[in-house]
């Protein structure tokens, strides 16, 4: 289902939730909690953003632990950190652009932080 900017939900808040998922799941969770009873589109998209932000954060923590504690291949952890950052920015900006047009979006991987109806 597509929404137009005139009759649809607050796509700017949903887009903000997706952009803020780059730095983690905290801001999208706050957006989800604040809008879950008012706007179903924003709540659903903020839930997706929170789940993706948690996946990015978990992967970044694992890459950091590899960098710090695995001898001789710690540089792979640094490369993984860079790859995770690039992927997070690309996926979140892509989701932001889709949501701002009023179309629902999805991520290729998620860790369920916010349990929502899909």
CB atoms within 10 A of CB 34: 14
Instruction: Write the pLDDT tens digit of every residue in 23-42.
Output: 989 999 999 999 888 888 89
Cβ 103 vs Cβ 78: under 8 Å: no
What does the pLDDT read at residue 40? Answer: 87
How far is it, in rounded angstroms, from Cα 81 to Cα 19? 19
Would you list the DSSP string of 6-49?
TTS--HHHHHHHHHHGGG-SHHHHHHHHHHTTT-HHHHHHHHHH
What does the pLDDT read at residue 94? Answer: 95
The pTM for the full model equals 0.84
What is the pLDDT of the chain when averaged over all its residues?
Answer: 87
Cβ 46 vs Cβ 28: under 8 Å: yes
Query: For residue 6, is pLDDT > 50?
Result: no
């Amino acid at each position: 289902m597509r929404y137009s900017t005139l009759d649809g939900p607050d796509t700017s808040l949903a887009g903000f939730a997706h952009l803020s998922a780059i730095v983690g799941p905290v801001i999208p969770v706050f957006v989800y909690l604040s809008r879950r009873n008012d706007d179903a589109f924003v709540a659903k998209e903020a839930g997706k953003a929170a789940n993706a932000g948690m996946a990015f954060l978990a992967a970044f923590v694992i890459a950091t632990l590899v960098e710090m504690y695995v001898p001789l291949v710690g540089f792979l952890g640094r490369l993984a950190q860079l790859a995770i950052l690039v992927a997070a920015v690309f996926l979140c900006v892509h989701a932001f652009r889709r949501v701002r047009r009023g179309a629902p979006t999805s991520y290729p991987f998620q860790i369920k932080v916010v349990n929502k109806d899909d």
